[in-house]
Amino acid sequence: MRTTRHNTFAFAAGMVSLAAACTIGAGQEAFAWDFAGFEEAESYSVGLHPGMVAMGDINNNGFKDLVVTNTGSNSISVLLNDGAGSFPTRHDFQVQSLPAGVAVADLDGDGNLDIVVANSQSGTVSVLPGMGDGTFGARADLPVGSPTPVTVAIGDVNGDQTPDIVVGAPSAIPESASALIVLPGLGDGTFGDPVVFPVAFPPIEIALADFNGDGWLDIVAAGVATGAAHVLFNNGSGGFEDPVDLDAGASTTSVAAADFYGDGRIDIAVAGADGVFVFRNIGDGSFAPPLTYTAGDHPWRVTVGDVDGDGSPDLVVANLLSHTVSILRNSGVGIFAPAQHLGVEGSPDKVAIGDLTGNGAPDLAISNTGANALEVRTNLSSVTRPRNFSLLTPTDDAAGLPMPGSNNWFGRPAALEWSAAESKFLDVEYSVVIATDPGLMNVVLEANGLAETSFPIPPGALSPNTTYYWGVTASNARGWRRSSPQSSSFTTANPGDLNGSGIVNAQDLAILLSWWGN
């Protein structure tokens, strides 16, 4: 079920840009362009107590779908994108007890995304092999060698060019040590025996990145009560060195990694009880003391994404107790502006960031554990970009297109038609090109500034019995452009050849008489 809810506090489309208030150096704007914020929330029902969220094109339609774990119903919900950023179709799949972490990746090299779920009370991860159409093959439940896997990440940590599964398993039981676990991928969707690395901290969330630039993926983990993030450098053979502890001075519950400073090195952001802590990578395997930023009440999860389109990764934080999501925008040099907040019904658990509408701007998907819902907020900053559209008629490889002025009997139009490229706030204009090659380089006819989604072919513009290719570009006053996914072809008819057979015969007369009857 889908419902719409207005923001309790959100970015207004016309609000003053932070660039007006934040500068770096002498007159340099902090942000590349005005950030308009996010649309009102679209809320979608999922299972009980949704937690972690992942994005990926599950059904291969070119648009990101959503996957969320439901801890209260021992399931995951897969919400399929309709191509316009809405999610009318939901499928639930059972996993094992108390699913927590989730990740998507192509584990078997078939081009389809698979799903991995950490089952926090079953000692397993569930692997659901994607079929590429939104459905999944038989689920495999893989023991991980620890009773409490809660977080999962996917990457090639042993250098064999196949994705491995990395699991974080915290433990509050003294005789059962916390652990980081690697399930080595065999390349066909199956995995070798788990390799367990006991650790002295409870890893509640993990991320993979190459922190020291040696070409190997390392692990960073949030350590909850340790008040630190912990970096384990890869030793080059799939094992890991002793952890380097990064003191945040507060309980840490979430971790993310990105190049915040634009220097080519991967930095670390940690969410904790007292805010968000950003550790700058020095480049020699060490990190500077953190800069601390305020978010909402009880920052719970931190996610990274360039929400304002300036090329620098920003921070998005789910605040468990204040029912808000905080946006901290990166100045471009690793300094973040004061948080701005989005109101959320219930308690937000996790935010996933990605382009859900196909307009080039990252949107937000927020799991709302208190409302058993997933909220989607569309980025307003670039929704003025024309959305995807398609060429309709003539259909690709159509033959016998009526020739205007010759066999276009009874005024029947010989026209090109396409679907509308929706663009919020700004009107869209279209340009049409007809050419003799698929790349649309040898242009024979071009029309610009069209307001309608059709173009009548002028008499005498095309030759009979000739194959042409055509394409359309949509644009608006802001300068955004979007072209049709590919060109389409048609072949014009001979004069009098109404059925496209290549010759004029009795069948053409029958067609003519049928038109007369209509």
pLDDT digits (tens, 9 = 90+) for 234-284: 999 879 999 999 998 888 999 999 999 999 999 999 998 889 999 999 988
pTM of the model: 0.71
| pLDDT of amino acid 510 | 73
Q: State the Cα–Cα distance between residues 141 and 183, nearest whole angstrom.
A: 12
Peptide bond preceding 394 in cis form (omega within 30 of 0): yes
Lowest mean pLDDT among 19-33, 119-133, 202-216, 275-289: 19-33
C-alpha torsion angle, residues 109, 110, 111, 112 (rounded to 10): -110
**pLDDT average, residue stretch 347-364:** 90
- Kind and range of the H or E run holding 508: helix 506-517
Q: Quickly name the fold that domain 42-377 has.
A: Methylamine Dehydrogenase; Chain H (2.130.10)
296: CB partners within 8 A, 6+ apart: 317, 319, 321, 322, 324, 325, 326, 339, 341
- 42-377 and 391-402+413-492 share one fold: no
Listed residue (158, 155, 157, 147) closest to 125, CA to CA? 147
> Between the ranges 173-177, 360-364, 473-477, 483-487, where is the mean pLDDT highest?
360-364
Give me the residue label for tokens 């008629």: 393
Lowest mean pLDDT among 215-229, 369-383, 448-462: 369-383
CATH architecture of the domain with range 391-402+413-492: Sandwich (2.60)
Q: What share of the chain is helix, strand, coil (3-state, %, to 5)?
A: 5, 45, 55
Listed residue (456, 485, 460, 457) closest to 472, CA to CA? 485
Domain ranges within the chain, ordered by starting residue: 42-377, 391-402+413-492
| pLDDT of amino acid 425 | 52
| pLDDT of amino acid 458 | 86
pLDDT digits (tens, 9 = 90+) for 451-494: 999 998 887 788 888 899 999 998 877 667 778 867 788 888 76
